[in-house]
Structure 1
Amino acid sequence: MKKKGWGRIVNMSSQMGLIADPEKSAYCASKAGLIGFSRVIALEGAQYGITCNAVCPGYADAPLGHSLIAKDAAQRGITFEQSKAEFAQQRIPTGHLVKISEIAELVAFLCLDSAASISGTPIPIDGANMAR
């Protein structure tokens, strides 16, 4: 990247790197550390045209979230879809889980030339959860 004078690094962090959640100290600390690491790399790479950012997804429609939703559904005797809808309505201002495709499109955008001035930034993609 240094030789070419151009590069894009996109690290996957989490909204938990920006906020705290009880009983998740190791996860929150590791994701916050990745945000700090991304900032340092952004500074070190800036003169070479290299950007580095940390994407911070919120509750996503992905296997990790699905396991929590399935457990809740089983405990409460409701369907997975019902538990998923209630989970999203209770925790996410937009009322829906973040789609994997939304995260992928954000990552792709950060790799474009037009994103050259976005660097060293934790970027939440969380259905307005961080706006509270």
Structure 2
Amino acid sequence: MVHSTPGFEARTGDPLSKRTPAVFFDVLRTLAEGGVTVVAEAAFQDKVWRPNLEPPAEIADIRVVRCTVDSAVAHERIVRRAEQSARRAAHADQELLQAIADGERPLESWMPIAMDVPTLVVDTSDGYQPGLEEIVSFAGRPTAGRAT
């Protein structure tokens, strides 16, 4: 959506950024209703994830792989990605970095998804701990009575 909008600059509350979660979750819901296995990746907080995943959880076997890293490494990655990646056009990284610097939005205030579903916490400080083999095994493990 961002790349098809010439001159778009992300900022908190802009119209395109407001539409993005609805489109994201509509696609997930449609795929779940069709019985499609899907991996959805986003850094939404619990207040966005949970209310949007609870309805599809009635028909889908949801698992959460939650990647973690300490706040210093997270900050360094935000800075690096903002400087180096054109794909970050959808994110208001400079606004976020300013809010962090001003003490208005500490990284520690971010709230991960909190649903009663199988969850694997992965430390991404240096590679993946647990490793990719265990992550893939966790993601593909069937739950009683449901297809993945």
Q: Please state which band the TM-score falls in when normalised by the shorter chain.
A: 0.3 to 0.5
TM-score (norm 1): 0.35
Pick the structure with more strand per residue.
1
Greater percentage in helix: 1
TM-score (norm 2): 0.32
